[in-house]
A and B are shown apart, each in its own frame.
Chain A
Amino acid sequence: MAGLKLKNIMGKIAGFFTAASRSGLLWPVIFFGLILLVNALINPGFFDIEIKDGRLSGSLIDIMNRSSYIILLAIGMTFVVATAGIDISVGAVVAISAAVSAYLIGGTLVVENGVQQYVSFMPMPVAIIAALLIATALGMWNGLLISRMGLQPIIATLILMVAGRGIAQLITSGQIITIYYKPFFFIGGGYLFGIPFSIYIVAAVLAVVMFLKKRTALGLFIQSVGINKTATRFAGINSSNIILWVYAFSGFCAGIVGLLVCSNNKSADGNNAGYNMELDAILAVVLGGTSLAGGKFYIMGSVIGGLIIQSLTTTIFSIKEIKPEANLVVKAVIVFVVCLIQSESFRKKVAGVIFLREKKSL
């Protein structure tokens, strides 16, 4: 009797794991949980959230705030990867977007009677919209090269990546533009109802994306294109347009991040802005369970992936015994560990894991 009950419980647990792993979120969540655990052990007060000056603050809030860059890029990247593509130009687009907004706001500092007057070259909304439009247009450029000209995604986005920084430098004339326009700083540094404004931006984008995924056929079409572009086209779906728009959206997300970066740093550096961000974004997507080969994608997984990367960085920086450069090494190890776990060959070779995904290989 007890044996049967145990079997039932084991069955239920196995069933839970299978369902969880089918949703794709199992491993990312476990991973994130592990990191939080490590932090809890090492960092006293890690989970403390206080209210200072009407704002929430604490390590957790910090992580969510700083991870907004990666998460936004990762959301755009998830769709691109799902179509079996890749976008390594996002870092460069971030730099361009930051440069455009800084240029249009201008670096003039006006002080009258000891009080700073806020002056901007173009009205702030114009600067914001221009940056977003240009970023989206650059994404469309990638999309056109890939869908209409037939270029491979990595090479098409490589071109923009290489040229992009050059373009950003041209916009800033090789200088770092510092801006003093306070209203603009709200985007990256402001707080609304005590929560950092950047989190609202992420939440808004996430909400739109989840709505599109659940209420429209977009998710189905994107997965379809990623798995078999030709068959999707024959089924009457415009694969080319879908590919065009996912890259445009990726550019758009990079545009938002550019605004955030410029706002947070109060400057635009064509050389360093967005540096290595594309790699972090891709890493977040892979951690989140979406395969680089395209097909099924997991937006929430990418979000958690972004949180993981950021919290890793925070954890490492907070442990005094570890050099901050170790961040890169840790990221590398995680890349390998996650990829090995995701690799069927690895799982088969190790064996004895509860949820082996089985394929008929006749």
Chain B
Amino acid sequence: MNIKNIPILSCITGGKGGNSSGSMFNFKYLLLAATIALFIVMFGIGSVSFRGFFSLKVFFDLFIDNPFLFIAAIGMTFVIITGGIDLSVGSVAALTTMITGTLVEIHGVSPAVVLPFVLFVGSLIGFLIGIMVHFFKIQPFIATLGGMFLARGIALMINTDSITLNNSFFKAVSNYHIPVIGNAFITINVVIVLLVVVIAIILAHYTNFGRTVYAIGGNEQSAILMGLPVGRTKILVYTISGFCSALAGVTMMFYMPSGNPLHGVGMEMDVIAAVVIGGTMLTGGSGYMLGTVFGVLILGTIATLINFQGGSVNPWWIRIINAALILVFCLLQILFEKKGRKIAKS
């Protein structure tokens, strides 16, 4: 059985149904490898330095504690591959929690109705942003900046304080542990994350939509002339990001049942950092969902390392380390691109 023929695995080993000449010249695979290697190294350092670090619990906690980052980052990856950006992710997530909090707690509406509704609201916001970006040619940066202000403002207008969710459904989901091996468990949020990642990989590599996303990032003009549904895809990409932001908000509530208008402040920067560290270039046209997953894992590992270190380390170092990582990965990207061009020339 040729490993190249197994679709999902092939995208890890060398992409697109087989790469017979080897991926030496494809620096993007190198970047992905670097990301994965960095994660392994970091986890290794933690394991060596701290007792109890090298455990399934710590590994699963990376997923349990950051489901919102994973999901928002996946949505952001799609947007960034098309060459755009979405600054509204944190605010839309917060808005989602506020709408849910209000409807469920104060008005007693059933979560079964509210949850699909807020997912729809997030998608709608993304859809409107997509329309502005594509039809009215407004730059994604400023359009999503406006979306960020709007969502955050509405969230604050709903209530400036947080709303605790006493609803039994949320409490049940938040406490539910799915046993895996021995004492290690995962939560429903983790299952949601895995589902989202798998769907995203299938979308990105096995559907026309996904390939169009990459095409737009490579050369939008060409994509249009090649007859690809560029407009529809661009709008869909922002809609997906809005949906993911809303879903991230839902997982926030599953993690800690409360609606908080100040949720996710600054989250967009963490998400962008995760995507960049994951190997996706901000110029668009390349990037892997799997890379983003590892990007978030790396950010989570840093936080965990600092936690384990205890009170002696100023937590603000996390910010500085994150920033340094982004810098290193960007420089790597530029370096690989230059090398790639040199090899192509000769």
Q: Do chains A and B touch in the complex (CB under 8 A)?
A: yes
Q: Which residue of A lies closest to B141 (CB)?
A: A292
Distance (Å) between the CB of B118 and the closest chain A CB?
Answer: 18
Residues from chain A with a CB closer than 8 A to the CB of B316 are 165-166, 169-170, 174, 270
Q: Are A335 and B145 closer than 8 Å at their CB atoms?
A: yes
Q: Given A174-B316, A326-B157, A159–B136 Cβ distance below 8 Å? A: no
Q: Which residue of A lies closest to B139 (CB)?
A: A292
> A166 CA to B160 CA in the complex, in Å?
27
B327 near A159 (CB under 8 angstroms)?
A: yes
Nearest residue in B to A347 (C-beta to C-beta)?
A: B136
Complex-state Cα separation, A336 to B142, whole angstroms:
9
How far apart are A292's CB and chain B's nearest CB, in angstroms? Answer: 5
- Residue-by-residue, is A107-141 near B (CB-CB < 8 Å gives 1, otherwise 0)? 00000000000000000000000000000000000
Tell me the complex Cα distance, A77–B220, Å. 29
Which residue of A174, A328, A343 contacts B136 across the interface (Cβ within 8 Å)? A343
In the complex, identify which listed stretch (B65-73, B184-192, B269-277) lies at the interface while the others stay far away: B269-277
How many A-B contacts are there with CB distance less than 8 Å? 125
Interface string of A152-189 (1 = CB under 8 A from B): 10111011111101110110001000000000000000
B108 within 8 A of A: no
Q: A323-B157, A328-B152 are in contact. Are A155 and B137 (CB under 8 A)?
A: no
CB–CB A154/B145 < 8 A = no
Mask of A330-362 contacts with B, CB within 8 angstroms, 1/0: 111101100110011110010000000000000
Residues of A within 8 A of B322 (CB): 162-163
Whether the pair B334, A86 counts as a contact (CB closer than 8 A) is no
Size category of the B interface is 35 or more
**Which chain A residues lie closer than 8 Å to B141 at the CB level?**
86, 154, 292
Q: Contact at A158–B150, with CB atoms within 8 Å?
A: no
| B177 close to A (CB within 8 Å) | no
Is B319 a contact of A346 with CB atoms below 8 Å? Answer: no
State which of A149, A286, A340 has its C-beta within 8 Å of the C-beta of B331: A149
Least Cβ–Cβ distance between B296 and chain A, in angstroms: 15
CA distance A78 to B122 in the complex (A): 33
Q: Is A282 interfacial (CB-CB < 8 Å)?
A: yes
CB atoms of B149 and A163 under 8 A apart:
no
0/1 string, A137-153, CB within 8 A of B gives 1: 00000000100011110
Contact A332 B283 (CB under 8 A): no
Complex contacts, A292 vs chain B, CB 8 Å: 139, 141-142
A166 pairs with B145, CB closer than 8 A: no
Contacting residues, chain A, for B273 (C-beta < 8 A): 158, 162
Rounded to whole angstroms, the CA-CA distance of A331 and B150 in the bound complex is: 8
**Is there contact, CB below 8 Å, between A151 and B132?**
no
Decide if B142 touches A286 in the complex (CB within 8 Å). yes
Contact (Cβ within 8 A) B157 A325 = yes
- Chain B residues with Cβ under 8 A from A166's Cβ? 316-320, 323
A residues apposed to B, CB below 8 Å: 86, 145, 149-152, 154-156, 158-163, 165-167, 169-170, 174, 270, 279, 282-283, 286, 292-293, 323, 325-333, 335-336, 339-340, 343-346, 349
- Cβ contacts A to B, 5 pairs, < 8 Å: A149-B331, A149-B334, A155-B276, A163-B319, A174-B316
Q: A335-B149, A336-B146 are in contact. List 17 more A-B contacts (CB 8 A).
A: A145-B327, A151-B330, A154-B85, A159-B330, A162-B269, A162-B319, A165-B316, A166-B318, A166-B323, A270-B316, A279-B145, A325-B157, A326-B153, A329-B157, A332-B148, A336-B132, A345-B137
Interfacial residues, chain B to chain A (CB-CB below 8 A): 85, 132, 135-139, 141-143, 145-150, 152-154, 156-157, 160, 269, 272-273, 276, 282-283, 314, 316-320, 322-324, 326-327, 330-331, 334
